[in-house]
Amino acid sequence: MKNPVIEFHDFGFRYASQSEPTLHGINLTIYEGEKVLILGPSGSGKSTLANCINGLIPFSFKGESTGEVKVAGMDTRHAGIFSLSKHVGTVLQDSDAQFVALSVGEDIAFALENQAVKRSMMIPQVIAAASIVGMQDFLNHVPYALSGGQKQKVSLAGVLHEHVDIVLFDEPLASLDPKAGMHAVELIDDIHAQGKTVVIIEHRLEDVLHREVDRILVMDEGRIVFDGDADTLLCGKLLPEIGIREPLFITQMHHAGCVLHADDHPSSVTRFNLDPYRASLLNFIQTEIQPKAHYPGEVLIEATNVRFSYDTQEAIKNISFQVRKGEKIAFIGKNGAGKSTMAKLLCGIVRPDHGNITFQKTDLKSWSIREIGEKIGFVMQNPNQMLVKNIIKDEVAFALTLRNLPQQEIDERVQHALTVCGLWPMRNWPVSAVSYGQRKRITVAAMLALDTEVLILDEPTAGQDYRHYTEIMDFLDDLNRQTGITIIFITHDMHLAIEYTDRAIVFADGEKIADDLVVEVLSDNEIIQKANLKQTSLYTLAMRLGLPPETLVDHFIGHEREVKTHE
Amino acid sequence: MSKRIFINIVPGKTFLHKLSGKTKVGLFIVCIVYTIMSFDLRLLAPLMFLSLIAIVSLKPDWKVIIVLFIAIFLMNFFNIFLYWVVKPDIGSEWTGGTSTILYSFSSYYFVSLETLWYLLVRLFKMLTSFTVSMAFILSITPSELASGLHGLGVPYKICTVVSLAFRYIPDISRDYENIKVSMQARGVEMDLRKTPILKRLKQTIYILFPLIITSFDRIGNIANALDLRGYGLKKDRTYYAEVEPTLMDKLFRWSTLALFLFCLAWIVSRNIWEPATKMWFPFEV
């Protein structure tokens, strides 16, 4: 029998600032060398649970607890965060905040510095830790020159010291693109293979399941509602109920009416025994799907041979494309591929070095940023970076007031925008009182009030769980249907592109490598490889069934659409 | 980012870069004391010469430095000009009371050798403190600065504030740029030519408000990151950036000590023991 390293007994916790407990009656034992995934939607208490393991509770977050927690044999209430940090290494979600030093080597050394380890003893340990994560050649690099994935590797190396035997990952995939996320999952698996106990807090189930986990704990409303293996979990109905997204291929199986059995290993798309289900899947793709309604509106935006460089680095290499009225387009590509730069060019934040961009045949060159802003609205990833007023309706009226419109017109436009966004009843609420998703709506409403014809959204769902993701995306989808507004999504989320867009423009190294229907783009392995993106599990499923991937993807989208219209 | 503020974050490869943080910080402090205490060209000129050599040896990006040097020079030149305007015979007080008039505009406004000398020394003093600081800034990384300060007895929590500031300033300035752009797109006019300065100042709040909110989020995360890695655990802490002292470091540290003793002797003898009322003036009659 293995040693228990983390033990919760009838544990409950209430934050000092809240009236209701966040965790109730947690009983949980994690054994040495296990790899455990703690799954749950936002607000389910999974991060609180993690903070109880690493000692941030009760060290930084005060509150009232009941029952007991033992980590590495110590009671966390008495052991203190410092003794715990020698046994538990935590990799935070925000790898930018965790990178506190000015170079890779220095950051990995940070914990050793705090223990006043002599420099001569520190250097070999830093090199050893850096080698585990493959960053040994980057010791002199500054944080600004690293990608999100690299920063996370440094964070991991920074907690891998000799005594650390439990590694806790708090939403490790939240700020990574899919390919980097895949590498992160592989790296976590390597750490586990070296004998560490690994606890992963995540809501992106499919990405974590890229490598096997020993056990999954599902949390909802402060309780553990499932404790078992991945296969059993996927056969049940729990995930959709609590708002966790199932792997895409599992959803597909459910669409096809398959009843899954744990013995067939549904947790891995590559090892899954498909034989019992083949017939119903083949049957499923024979069904007729309604062809997607397509309305080719007038051309709104046209980019012709656009080139742009930052200093000496060419960010956009000779790109041309059109955007038609009412379209939903995804700009996809990994971080740094040029998709955000292209969006900045469309908004006039930066201007092309060569070529031109027109809006309804007028060259954008002749407009100021402010004038372009009345046609093309840009919604930043983090709504907190856009909100300046205290009250919701003032926020939406902000840009109109700056333009000195008559008060009556401002009121009308604000009312219209807030109504469309479903915020009218909350118009007098303070911005700080509403949720993240609602703040996102406020930023969208602010753009609508300006009568923008195109919305560009930068990673609209980054860091959101499935419930909020669906909420934001369905809202935008309805908006597009009701008002005919054109929407461009900047994303690396293939699921988003599949479900909510018509057309995808794929960027890689500043070039446009594809511009086609989403189905076509995602079924083309060459494009996905070239863009350094991650293939969806639907593709893998199609390959294993020996079917053309576009047929499967097409039926998937068709079915989703039907389900949605029936709701 | 680091290009724009010309601070090194990665340690450089020249002789001075390779000295340890403690050596560089110590030498800099003593040099500044030396500059402040001396109002004597015999002391200032050699230091300025040495610090210029130091700057050259650091192989800096001259474009930025020359622009800065010219700006500092003009500012100080204007400064000493004002000295002259206010008190054309200011030099006489310091050189022994004589006024060797070289040119006179009126009975009040004249150019005397003594005043010229006095103002020259003043200009030299300002420029020396500039070249010394420049050599220091170019030779050190923020991490070395933190470790060097700690090596000289400054509590490490203060040193961490210094290095964290350097770490996050570029992040915050990136946030600032992003917010500014989104505000411009929403119609806040920030064009220098189109907006009066008062209005622009007022509009800064539209950037600062979201910036502060976003920064607070970050501060909480950073604090947790520090706690989780045992920051503040012990009374003392070591530094990865503090390289082991080499022979050169020892040589420099001894020289620093010697210079420090000289400063001490100078201050005691000239300012406390028998306060000097006159500056060195080679043309004394």
Domain ranges (residues) in chain A: 4-264, 299-536
**Contact yes or no for B21/B242 (Cβ under 8 A):** yes
What DSSP state is assigned to residue B275?
-
Residues 6 or more apart whose Cβ sits within 8 Å of residue B129: B32, B35, B36
Q: Which chain A residues have a beta carbon less than 8 Å from that of B185?
A: 347-349, 369-370, 372-373, 377-378
**Contact yes or no for A456/A490 (Cβ under 8 A):** yes
**E strands in A398-551:** 454-458, 486-491, 503-508, 511-517
From the list A142, A388, A398, the residue facing B10 with the nearest CB is A142
**E strands in A72-196:** 74-75, 88-91, 166-170
**Among the listed residues A145, A202, A142, the one whose alpha carbon sits nearest the alpha carbon of residue A168:** A202
pLDDT in the model for residue A486: 95
Task: Write out pLDDT tens, residues B227-280.
Answer: 999 898 888 999 999 988 999 999 999 999 999 999 999 999 888 887 777 888
Strand partners, A330: A489, A504
**pLDDT surpassing 70 at residue B4:** no
Partner-chain contact A92 B182, CB within 8 Å:
no
Q: How far apart are CA A551 and CA A556, in angstroms?
A: 9
Strand partners, A308: A316
234-293 in chain A: CB under 8 A from chain B: none
Q: Which chain A residues have a beta carbon less than 8 Å from that of B222?
A: 97, 100
* Cα end-to-end distance, chain B, whole Å: 56
How far apart, in Å, are the Cα atoms of A117 and each of A112, A120, A310?
Answer: 6, 8, 42
User: B114 is written with which tokens?
Assistant: 């003594």
Residue A201's region, left for phi above 0, alpha for psi from -120 to 50, else beta, is beta
For the structural domain made of A4-264, what CATH number should be given?
3.40.50.300
Q: Does domain A299-536 have CATH number 3.40.50.1820?
A: no
How far apart, in Å, are the Cα atoms of B151 and each of A102, A110, B23, B29, B166?
Answer: 19, 17, 9, 13, 19
Partner-chain contact A90 B228, CB within 8 Å:
yes
Residue type, B83: Y
**Contact yes or no for A209/A247 (Cβ under 8 A):** yes
Task: Write out pLDDT tens, residues B102-151.
Answer: 888 888 888 999 899 999 999 999 999 999 999 999 999 999 999 999 99
Q: Is A341 on the interface with B (CB under 8 A)?
A: no
Q: How far apart are CA A465 and CA A503, in angstroms?
A: 24
Cβ burial of B197 (10 Å; 0-12, 13-18, 19+) is exposed
CA angle A276, A281, A284 (to 5 degrees): 145
**Among the listed residues A481, A478, A476, the one whose alpha carbon sits nearest the alpha carbon of residue A455:** A476
Task: Write out pLDDT tens, residues B17-53.
Answer: 999 999 999 999 999 999 999 889 999 999 999 999 9
**Contact yes or no for B272/B265 (Cβ under 8 A):** no
pLDDT in the model for residue B3: 45
Band of pLDDT at residue B7, cut at 50, 70 and 90:
confident
Residue type, A186: E
User: B104 is written with which tokens?
Assistant: 């006179």
Q: A406: cis peptide before it, omega within 30°?
A: no
Band of pLDDT at residue B6, cut at 50, 70 and 90:
low
Number of CB pairs, chain A paired with chain B, less than 8 A apart? 172
Q: Is B4 on the interface with A (CB under 8 A)?
A: no
**What mean pLDDT value characterizes chain B?**
88
User: A429 is written with which tokens?
Assistant: 């609420």
Q: Is B218 on the interface with A (CB under 8 A)?
A: yes
Low-confidence ranges of chain A (pLDDT < 50): none
pLDDT in the model for residue B1: 39
Residue A352, min C-alpha distance to chain B (Å): 17
pLDDT in the model for residue A521: 87
Q: How far apart are CA A74 and CA A82, in angstroms?
A: 12
- Domain definitions of chain B by residue range: 1-141+244-285, 143-240
**Among the listed residues A38, A55, A45, the one whose alpha carbon sits nearest the alpha carbon of residue A169:** A38
What 3-state DSSP class applies to B130? helix
pLDDT in the model for residue B125: 94
Residue type, A385: Q
pLDDT in the model for residue B186: 83
pLDDT in the model for residue A404: 86
From the list A118, A388, A450, the residue facing B238 with the nearest CB is A118
Q: Which residue has the tokens 């009975």?
A: B107
How far apart, in Å, are the Cα atoms of A210 and each of A142, A186, A498?
Answer: 31, 8, 20
Helices (H), chain B: 2-5, 21-37, 41-57, 62-86, 90-95, 113-139, 142-151, 156-186, 197-228, 247-267
Q: In this structure, how many other beta carbons lie within 10 angstroms of the beta carbon of residue A535?
A: 18
Q: How far apart are CA A117 and CA B274, in angstroms?
A: 49
What percent of chain B shows pLDDT beyond 70? 96
From the list B210, B224, B237, the residue facing A388 with the nearest CB is B210
Q: How far apart are CA B145 and CA A110, in angstroms?
A: 16
What 3-state DSSP class applies to A6? strand
How far apart, in Å, are the Cα atoms of A154 and each of A95, A151, A199, A355, B217?
Answer: 9, 5, 18, 40, 22
Long-range own/partner contacts, residues A519-523 (CB < 8 A, 24 or more apart) = A519/A550, A519/A553, A519/A554, A519/A557, A520/A550, A521/A332, A521/A497, A522/A494, A522/A497, A522/A498, A522/A549, A522/A553, A523/A548, A523/A549, A523/A550, A523/A553
pLDDT in the model for residue B192: 67
pLDDT in the model for residue A485: 92
